[in-house]
């Protein structure tokens, strides 16, 4: 594109009319050229560019997050309770298995369990920490003296049980799925039956 001022200087003295005409023509060409660009390329200015979120938009977002949280949290808690119960059942099954091995060697079931560090001493088994922090375990072993069946009297017996610790998610009420006491004995009887 030619510079209109430069063109005037090259053409020489055409008078003021030629100079004014050429300057106006150059301005018209500039305004026509700007108008031909799409508006998306023009810089956006004004009040709308610095605008943030409105209060209504923030309230709606918080409300949606709250509704999703109210739906998701009970499901997540139920999942955690089921997973923790499964881990406690695995511990009970492991202890029962080790008791059967121990009775073959010693002629009686082990009755040693240290609550403080979750160790079944004579069985050589330590409860995993993540299970020990959520459940209290108890081990009772001895000889059967209460049976009315003569053949069972004097036989070694044991019961190992797990119940939810106070202050954990497992302590909650059974209606919400939190644990009642889980147990297994020398016959492999798992109680309560509905939980196994």
Please give the helix or strand (H or E) that residue 186 lies within, else none: none
Mean pLDDT of 14-25: 54
- Dist. CA 138–CA 114, nearest whole Å: 9
82-195, which class in CATH? Answer: alpha beta
Q: Is the pLDDT of residue 159 over 60?
A: yes
- The answer to whether residues 162 and 182 touch, using CB atoms and an 8 Å cutoff, is yes
Average pLDDT, the chain: 80
DSSP-derived secondary structure letter, 149:
S
Mean pLDDT of 138-150: 79
- The answer to whether residues 141 and 160 touch, using CB atoms and an 8 Å cutoff, is no
- Dist. CA 132–CA 118, nearest whole Å: 6
Mean pLDDT of 85-92: 96
* Cβ-based burial of 116 (10 A; exposed 0-12, middle 13-18, buried ≥19): exposed
Phi, psi of 186, rounded to the nearest 5 degrees: -65, -20
Q: Is the pLDDT of residue 89 over 90?
A: yes
Q: Is the pLDDT of residue 126 over 90?
A: yes
Whole-number pLDDT of residue 51: 72
Nearest-CA neighbor of 179 among 94, 82, 96, 87?
82
- Dist. CA 92–CA 168, nearest whole Å: 19
| 6's tokens | 């430069």
Q: Is the pLDDT of residue 112 over 60?
A: yes
pLDDT in tens, 69-83: 999 998 998 899 999
- The answer to whether residues 95 and 125 touch, using CB atoms and an 8 Å cutoff, is yes
Percent of the residues in the chain that have a pLDDT greater than 90, as a whole number: 53
Whole-number pLDDT of residue 147: 65
Percent of the residues in the chain that have a pLDDT greater than 70, as a whole number: 67
Least confident of 76-90, 104-118, 159-173: 159-173
Whole-number pLDDT of residue 80: 92
pLDDT in tens, 33-86: 555 555 555 555 555 555 788 999 999 999 999 999 999 998 998 899 999 999
Whole-number pLDDT of residue 4: 55
DSSP-derived secondary structure letter, 41:
G
């Amino acid at each position: 594109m030619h510079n209109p001022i430069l063109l005037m200087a090259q053409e020489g003295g055409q008078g003021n009319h030629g100079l004014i005409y050429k300057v106006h023509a150059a301005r018209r060409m500039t305004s026509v050229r700007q108008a031909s660009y799409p508006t998306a390329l023009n810089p956006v200015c004004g009040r709308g560019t610095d605008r943030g979120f409105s209060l209504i938009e923030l309230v709606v977002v918080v409300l949606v997050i709250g509704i999703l949280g109210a739906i998701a949290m009970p499901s997540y808690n139920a999942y955690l309770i089921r997973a923790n119960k499964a881990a406690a059942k695995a511990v009970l099954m492991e202890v029962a298995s080790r008791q059967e091995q121990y009775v073959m060697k010693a002629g009686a079931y082990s009755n040693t369990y240290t609550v403080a560090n979750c160790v079944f001493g004579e069985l050589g088994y330590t409860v995993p920490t993540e299970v020990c922090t959520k459940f209290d375990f108890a081990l009772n072993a001895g000889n059967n003296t209460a049976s009315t069946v003569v053949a069972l009297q004097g036989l070694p017996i044991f019961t190992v049980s797990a119940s939810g610790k106070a202050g954990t998610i497992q302590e909650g009420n059974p209606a919400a799925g939190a644990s009642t006491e889980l147990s297994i004995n020398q016959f492999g009887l798992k109680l309560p039956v509905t939980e196994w």
